[in-house]
Amino acid sequence: MNIRKTITHDRPIVLLGGGGHALSLLEAFPPLTRAIGYTALEPSPKMPVEWLGDDETFRCLFKPEDVVMLCALVYGGRPDLSLRRRIIESFIGYDFATLIAPSAVVTDNCEIGEGAEIMHRAVINRARIGRNAVVNTGAIIEHDCSIGDNSFIGPGAVLGGEVEIGPDCFIGMGTCIRNGVSIAAGTVIGMGSVVTANITQPGTYAGSGNRLRRI
């Protein structure tokens, strides 16, 4: 695919969720790109676009051929991305837009999955980013990395070359992952951690190097 073609659908864009990540997504839109509204359990006074109802109401009003979605959910109160995945999968038949912020650097040999979100000043070099994954502000993904579907790479995280992140992983803000490391699906890495060895069992981990521990 041509990764430079970001949010080129001719249908209106709707955000799935109305929290803080939704606000960040709106700030990362390319010029002349707008969202017509968002769906959430209840309206948010901070959102500058129209509330279109909860998910059930929205699906009654807007059919898949009417709109294209952009997932603005991260997690429900704790870094567990399974809820995010379930909500995305509940929108059967709806297309999800791919967002690459204008200030992001994404090289030509990258593979960016449908629904992925590459935020401001992220750098991705010759890597694969899965469907509905998020590479947040200022994160660095080096050569030959693979980020699984629906995984979240926090702001300022740095992944060395050939890192493999499984699906549904949460990599906390400012985390550093050594080149060649693999991380099992569903793993959570606490912010500021340093990961130097493979993680084969999903769980929540925090610490640095030999002091990285499951918590």
Helix and strand numbers (H, E) in the chain are 3, 23
At residue 55, the pLDDT reads 95
Provide the pLDDT confidence category of residue 9 given band limits of 50, 70 and 90.
low
What pLDDT does residue 3 have? 44
Q: Across all residues in the chain, what is the average pLDDT?
A: 93
Q: What is residue 166's predicted lDDT score, i.e. its pLDDT?
A: 98
Q: Which residues are tagged catalytic?
A: 143
In this prediction, residue 1 carries a pLDDT of 39
Spatial contact of 91 and 59, defined as CB atoms under 8 Å apart: yes
Q: What is the pLDDT of residue 53?
A: 97
> Does the pLDDT value for residue 18 go beyond 80?
yes
Could you give the residue ranges of the DSSP H alpha helices within the chain?
A: 20-28, 55-61, 82-90
- Residue 105's nearest CA partner among 215, 4, 29, 214 is 4
The predicted model gives 67-71 an average pLDDT of 96
At 79, the pLDDT band (50, 70, 90 cuts) reads: confident
pLDDT for residue 24 is more than 50: yes
Edge to edge, what strands does the sheet with 105-106 contain?
A: 105-106, 123-124, 140-141, 158-159, 176-177, 194-195
Q: Which distant-in-sequence residues (6+ apart) come within 8 Å of 77 by Cβ?
A: none
Does the pTM surpass 0.85? The reply is: yes
